[in-house]
Amino acid sequence: MRYAVRLAYIGENYSGFQRQPNMKTVEGTVIEALRKVGWIEDEEKANYNHAGRTDQGVNALSQTIAFNTSEKIILPALNNSLPRDICCWAYASVAESFDPRRDALLRTYKYYAIYEGENLRVMKKAASLLKGTHDFKNLCTPKPNRRTIRTLLESKIEKRGDLLIFTFSSKGFLRKMVRKMVTALRKIGSGEKNLQYLKDLLNPNYEPRGGVAPAEPSGLILFDIKYPFDFLVDEVSRKIFLKTLYKNYIHERIKAQICKVIISELEKAS
């Protein structure tokens, strides 16, 4: 049988998703767990593959892998062999020909950033310019001889409390494309650049001086990947991971508050 499995992870402790020699990666950790529970012995024989790579520090809610196995899929057994910052939480039986990268219908990334007084109206106007089909050569880290034309079906920004939430949807993205788009939009929102700057970046003949630096990876999450079928959510795995995430959330909130207090007191001392 062939299965597709959805996994979520917090990326800060990993050198990205994709396996790399002598590096701790999410994929390498998951494959090791798959072997440990006896679901696969060899990735090639199991026709193992994944939906896409995420860079170091990037997070995911719906990364997707696929593999063949004769074993019964019991996700809590697999999660017992995974660290707490990775969870396989849903699965589906799929056709032998299924490829999680090629067969994805739509990918959605979200980027979270602290609002720093940017002009939201101008940023939203800039985000709308990214929608549609463009050459994103200046807004990605291109591979040699690889086409850089992509179609963004969604490009929007919303403010929620003190957070800016950037949402981008497309069938496919280029390396560091989302993080570079976020950088460009924030520069426009801060007044450092204007709308013409983004129009220039979307011109493949334009070469920006110094390029566009990608935004920090920790704010990025691979939010969703749509396929022409539904996944079965494993409730046990979902609830256990929720408990872990909630504990981490409380810990980080307390840590942030401590930092806020120290900043406040040090500013008074100046």
**112 neighbors 165 (Cβ within 8 angstroms):** yes
Do the strands 59-68 and 220-226 form a parallel or antiparallel pair, or are they unpaired? Answer: parallel
162 is catalytic: no
The residues, ordered by sequence, that sit 6+ positions from 125 with a Cβ below 8 Å of its Cβ are: 195
β partners of residue 248: none
Q: How far is CA 249 from the centre of its chain?
A: 19
Question: Annotated catalytic residue: which of 42, 55, 103, 135?
Answer: 55
- Active site amino acids: 55
